[in-house]
């Protein structure tokens, strides 16, 4: 009996120590979060959520104009165990953008998660239900997400977790991925499920972003960045408002980026990046999008659209088959009725 208790305690300790908790809000503090924007209305609060029966972080600001970053550098670490299985819980009823920056063997990379179902270069949709106002839990295999577009590098550690938009966040954790088993990279769990209502969505085109001026854009050390221009457009909605986010320190040489995002009325998003090169960065490992990479992205997007079209045709054929079966059954019942 004593041995069983010791074994059970050891298993609990191993389970708890196998994950790194970056935020669970239970200390009633908000010091780990920093506001990246200059919007005075943006704020972070730690409060008790009666539905979850735990403390959570509440972000309140001006939509996706407000950005909040979780300081994880002080607790993240390079490890051979590769803690790249990231999970978090969130409750959002409006648009959001989550930007996860990871340190890899080839420099830093950014993985972006938004509402919707479509994905493009380093951008992944979390599903149409991600903004329905319910608490949901997400789990992403960051290495597999990275491999989908760039399989040349390996994740070493988590660098930052940025979220844009107003809502609630809780239980941000990383743990070692079990490579011996199949890992679900887009597992979404409703913490408090409600009655599911299935709605038919009409076909909608994806929004686009056009970057004007040079990309990459070269600056001298100390030279200020002036936006050359950017436009967002959607076939159904027309011109869209472009939200941008930058992190440029023109006092130091290096490669920086300006991220642009648009979102249409159907909830589909598009993200584009302008690379900023300050001074001479011949020793920087990060890569700029070359014409070959851009052409590869176009081919991948084309293939994605073909796959979507194929899926629509298969769904239409299945629906047609079900209608034919229903009609045959109805005719058979009518014949039986007439015979009687």
SS3 171: strand
Whether residues 57 and 147 share a domain: the answer is yes
Whether residue 44 has pLDDT greater than 80: yes
Whether residue 181 has pLDDT greater than 70: no
| CA distance linking residue 45 with residue 57, whole number of Å | 6
Q: Is residue 199 part of a domain?
A: no
- Other CB atoms within a 10 A radius of the CB of residue 56 amount to 24
Whether residues 242 and 265 share a domain: the answer is yes
Phi-psi region of 7 (alpha: psi -120 to 50; beta: other; left: phi over 0): alpha
Helix, strand, coil share of the chain (percent; to 5):
25, 35, 40
Whether residues 136 and 34 share a domain: the answer is yes
Whether residues 110 and 152 share a domain: the answer is yes
Percent of the residues in the chain that have a pLDDT greater than 90, as a whole number: 19
pLDDT band for 212, please (50, 70, 90 cuts): very high
Whether residues 232 and 339 share a domain: the answer is no
Whether residues 274 and 310 share a domain: the answer is no
Question: Residue 258's domain is classified under what CATH number?
Answer: 2.60.40.10
Could you give the number of structural domains in the chain?
3
- Name the DSSP class of 247: -
Q: Which helix (H) or strand (E) holds 275?
A: strand 269-278
Whether residues 156 and 29 share a domain: the answer is yes
pLDDT band for 283, please (50, 70, 90 cuts): low
Q: Which residues on adjacent β-strands are paired with residue 238? A: 234
Whether residue 75 has pLDDT greater than 50: no
Whether residues 163 and 222 share a domain: the answer is no
Whether residue 191 has pLDDT greater than 60: no
Whether residues 308 and 326 share a domain: the answer is yes
With beta carbons less than 8 A apart as the criterion, state whether 22 and 75 touch. Answer: yes
Q: Which range of residues forms the domain containing residue 64?
A: 20-190
Whether residue 196 has pLDDT greater than 50: no
Q: Which helix (H) or strand (E) holds 244?
A: strand 243-246
Q: Is residue 203 part of a domain?
A: no
Closest by CA to 296, choosing from 120, 152, 143, 123, is 120
In the block, tokens 């686009």 appear at 208
- Name the DSSP class of 79: -
User: Exposed, middle or buried: residue 24 (CB in 10 Å: 0-12, 13-18, 19+)?
Assistant: middle
| Mean pLDDT, residues 225-251 | 86
The domain boundary residue, chosen from 271, 289, 307: 289
Whether residues 78 and 163 share a domain: the answer is yes
Whether residue 103 has pLDDT greater than 50: yes
pLDDT of res. 192: 52
User: Exposed, middle or buried: residue 208 (CB in 10 Å: 0-12, 13-18, 19+)?
Assistant: middle
Q: Is residue 337 part of a domain?
A: yes
Whether residues 281 and 308 share a domain: the answer is no
Q: Is residue 134 part of a domain?
A: yes
pLDDT of res. 51: 85
Cα 287 from chain centre: 22
Whether residues 106 and 168 share a domain: the answer is yes
With beta carbons less than 8 A apart as the criterion, state whether 70 and 159 touch. Answer: no
Cα 173–174–179 angle (5° rounding)? Answer: 145
How are beta strands 135-141 and 85-91 bridged, if at all? antiparallel
With beta carbons less than 8 A apart as the criterion, state whether 163 and 98 touch. Answer: yes
With beta carbons less than 8 A apart as the criterion, state whether 99 and 36 touch. Answer: no
The domain boundary residue, chosen from 160, 190, 220: 190
pLDDT of res. 13: 43
Q: Is residue 258 part of a domain?
A: yes
Q: Is residue 2 part of a domain?
A: no
> Which of the pair, 288 or 205, is modelled with greater confidence?
205
Q: Is residue 338 part of a domain?
A: yes
Question: Residue 89's domain is classified under what CATH number?
Answer: 2.60.120
SS3 string, 174-191, reads: EECCCCCCCCCCCEEEEC
């Amino acid at each position: 009996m004593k041995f069983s208790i010791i074994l059970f305690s050891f298993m609990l300790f191993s389970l708890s120590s196998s994950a790194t908790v970056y935020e669970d809000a239970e200390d009633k503090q908000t010091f780990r979060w920093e506001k990246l924007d200059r919007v005075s209305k943006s704020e972070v609060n730690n409060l008790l959520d009666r539905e979850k029966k735990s403390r959570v972080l509440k972000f309140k600001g001006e939509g996706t104009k407000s950005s909040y970053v979780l300081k994880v550098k002080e607790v993240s670490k390079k490890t051979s165990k590769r803690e790249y299985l990231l999970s978090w819980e969130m409750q959002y009823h409006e648009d959001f953008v989550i930007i996860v920056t990871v340190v890899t063997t080839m420099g830093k990379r950014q993985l972006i998660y938004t509402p919707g179902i479509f994905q493009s270069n380093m951008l992944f949709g979390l599903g149409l239900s991600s903004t329905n106002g319910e608490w949901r839990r997400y789990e992403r295999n960051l290495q597999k997400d990275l491999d989908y577009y760039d399989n040349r590098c390996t994740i070493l550690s988590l660098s930052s977790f940025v979220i844009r938009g107003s809502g609630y966040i809780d239980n941000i954790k990383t743990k070692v991925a079990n490579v011996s088993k199949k890992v679900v990279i887009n597992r979404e769990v409703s913490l408090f499920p409600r009655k599911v209502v299935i709605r038919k969505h009409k076909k909608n085109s994806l929004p686009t972003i056009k970057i004007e001026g040079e990309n990459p854009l070269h600056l001298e050390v100390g030279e200020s960045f002036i936006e050359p221009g950017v436009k967002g457009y959607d076939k159904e909605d027309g011109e869209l408002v472009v939200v941008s986010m930058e992190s440029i320190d023109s006092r130091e040489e290096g490669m920086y980026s300006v991220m642009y995002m648009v979102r249409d009325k159907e909830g589909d998003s598009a993200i584009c990046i302008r690379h900023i090169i300050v001074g001479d960065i011949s020793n920087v490992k990060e890569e700029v999008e070359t014409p070959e990479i851009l052409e590869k992205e176009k081919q991948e997007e084309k293939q994605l659209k073909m796959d979507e079209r194929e899926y629509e045709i298969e769904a239409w054929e299945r629906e047609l088959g079900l209608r034919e079966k229903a009609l045959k059954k109805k005719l058979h019942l009518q014949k039986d009725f007439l015979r009687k």
